[in-house]
Amino acid sequence: MAAPRTLIRNAQVVTALSSERGDVLIQGERIVAAGAGLSAPGATIVDAAGLLLLPGLIDAHVHVREPGAVEKEDWTSATRAALAGGVTTIFDMPNNATPTVTAERVAEKLDIAARGAVCDYGVYLGATSKNVGLAARLGGEIAGLKIYLGSTTGPLLTDDWRLLYDHLRSTPEVIPVAVHAEDEQCLRAFQDTSASDHNRNRPPICAELAVHHVITAARAAGRGAHIAHASTAREVSLIQQARQEGIPMTCEVCPHHLFLTSEDALLLGGWGKVNPPLREPGEVQALWEQLACVDIVATDHAPHRSEEKDHAYEQAPSGFSGLETLLPLMFLAVREGRLSLQHLVRLTSTGPANLFHTHRKGRITPGYDADLVLVDPAATRVIRAGALQTKPNDTPFRGWHLPGRVIAVWRRGERVLTDGILTVEPGTGKPVALATL
């Protein structure tokens, strides 16, 4: 029997390069045609007039928490949150309670993901002093290598410049090396325990210094590196300068560093605590002005139990969920004229697909996976605690009225979300095909 077909008609089809009215034909798991006036006898027809069709989002920075802290999140809850937010692929970070730092831990995590995930996924290997060279041996098994230069949630810390160099040197260029770039020594030196202002405890200088060091190490190692959650304009301009010198550095920015400031953090208490910290309003404005030089937007979805985040600043853990607010926040930026739709797709889908060398993802092109999101740009939604898929079921954006309602999601050709209702079984997400060596 031929694979089922779906014809999405009259959508505004948005890609990294264009935004045109047209049709998209899905057969089985793939896109088989895209253009104007398509016909497909026997296909399920979806009338998408007035709606935007985007390639499914790819979030390169997610903390699923399983194995380990399943009370915070697990593979099913995290990937349900992803699909609800129009994210069809996630890459999971290695800072679990027992970190993902050996071949066995990677295999174990891939096994857990295979049983629980509802969207597609990849996992990072965490760098330690004992696993230099392992990323090269794991090849297509991992989405990337992650190096923590400063302390954050979890036990991973590699605050040794020789180790940073050795990891960069031994990891093939095709495997991205993502860095949590806050310098540990600098964090210790500037820590101001009397301040209940996270931005004063972990000031921008620690991030800028770490980025500077990573660029120096990358240059010496003869490859690039990816700076996770850049929170200041200076980090982005350092990366831009390095690129001009031929060092293939890349960077990501998170929505919370664009939409929240250190002033909001003071009001949000525990819910405003995140590493790197929310920055001063002038810094946030400067970061917006650097967006043209940013490669990807990722959430740093870092769930902690609501009860933990309800604590005062000093006691609360750092990080919060972001998968369900990513697309609406980026739509807010579009509505405010800060971003074009094409740029949105480049930052959240095509950009990460290119950076992580995924096969068949991040484009609306025949032969690619039919990972698609249908959005009503006019409909707004109020972000409410208790109405989310993520386990903490709350976010610092609670109460925000955001545009860009997700109407439908297709994951590899299967319609998995209709009007906010998910119809998926755990274990139906698949590992993404990544470039092998």
Interface residue list for Zn ion (CB under 5 A): 152, 180, 300
Window 83-112: contact mask with ligand NCD (x via CB under 6 A): ------------x-----------------
By beta carbon distance, the residue nearest Zn ion is 180
Q: How far is the CB of 228 from ligand NCD (least distance, A)?
A: 7
Kindly report whether the peptide bond that precedes residue 204 is cis, defined as omega within 30 degrees of 0: no
User: Considering only CA atoms, which of 345, 369, 425, 358 is closest in space to residue 26?
Assistant: 369
Nearer to ligand NCD, 86 or 154 (CB): 154
Distance CA(170)–CA(135), nearest Å, equals: 8
274 binds ligand NCD (CB under 6 A): yes
Question: Helix, strand, or coil here: 110?
Answer: helix
Nearer to ligand NCD, 197 or 369 (CB): 197
- Of the residues 275, 350, 389, 390, which one makes contact with ligand NCD according to CB under 6 A: 275
Q: Which residues contact 106 (CB under 8 A, 6 or more apart)?
A: 100, 123, 125, 138, 141, 142
Nearer to ligand NCD, 304 or 363 (CB): 304
Contact 183, 206 (CB under 8 A): yes
302 binds ligand NCD (CB under 6 A): yes
153 binds ligand NCD (CB under 6 A): yes
Binds 153: which of ligand NCD, Zn ion, none (CB < 5-8 Å by kind): ligand NCD
Nearer to ligand NCD, 257 or 381 (CB): 257
Q: Are strands 250-253 and 5-14 parallel, antiparallel or unpaired?
A: unpaired
Q: How far is the CB of 72 from ligand NCD (least distance, A)?
A: 9
* Phi-psi category of residue 246: left, alpha or beta, with phi > 0 → left and psi -120 to 50 → alpha: left
Q: Which amino acid is at 179?
A: V
DSSP 119: S
Encoding tokens for residue 363?
């484009």
306 binds ligand NCD (CB under 6 A): no
Q: Which residues contact 425 (CB under 8 A, 6 or more apart)?
A: 118
Contact 102, 75 (CB under 8 A): no
Stretch that binds ligand NCD, among 97-105, 109-117, 147-155, 404-412 (CB under 6 A): 147-155
Nearer to ligand NCD, 180 or 361 (CB): 180
Distances (CA, A) of 121 to 92, 104, 277: 7, 18, 27
Binds 57: which of Zn ion, ligand NCD, none (CB < 5-8 Å by kind): none
Q: How far is the CB of 431 from ligand NCD (least distance, A)?
A: 21
User: Considering only CA atoms, which of 382, 403, 272, 392 is closest in space to residue 321?
Assistant: 392
128 binds ligand NCD (CB under 6 A): no
Q: Interhelix angle for 204-221 vs 233-244, to 10°?
A: 20
Binds 274: which of Zn ion, ligand NCD, none (CB < 5-8 Å by kind): ligand NCD
Distance CA(354)–CA(373), nearest Å, equals: 19
DSSP 347: I
Nearer to Zn ion, 150 or 351 (CB): 150
Distances (CA, A) of 245 to 39, 242, 371, 409, 410: 50, 5, 36, 41, 41
299 binds ligand NCD (CB under 6 A): no
- Of the residues 74, 120, 300, 371, which one makes contact with ligand NCD according to CB under 6 A: 300
198 binds ligand NCD (CB under 6 A): no
- Of the residues 6, 15, 76, 152, which one makes contact with ligand NCD according to CB under 6 A: 152
Task: Write out the binding residues for ligand NCD, residues 51-90 only, by CB under 6 A.
Answer: 63
Stretch that binds ligand NCD, among 123-131, 136-144, 146-154, 376-384 (CB under 6 A): 146-154
Catalytic residues: 300
User: Considering only CA atoms, which of 316, 393, 388 is closest in space to residue 153?
Assistant: 316
Binds 279: which of Zn ion, ligand NCD, none (CB < 5-8 Å by kind): none
Nearer to Zn ion, 302 or 388 (CB): 302
Contact residues: ligand NCD, CB under 6 A: 63, 95, 152-154, 180, 274-275, 300, 302, 318-319
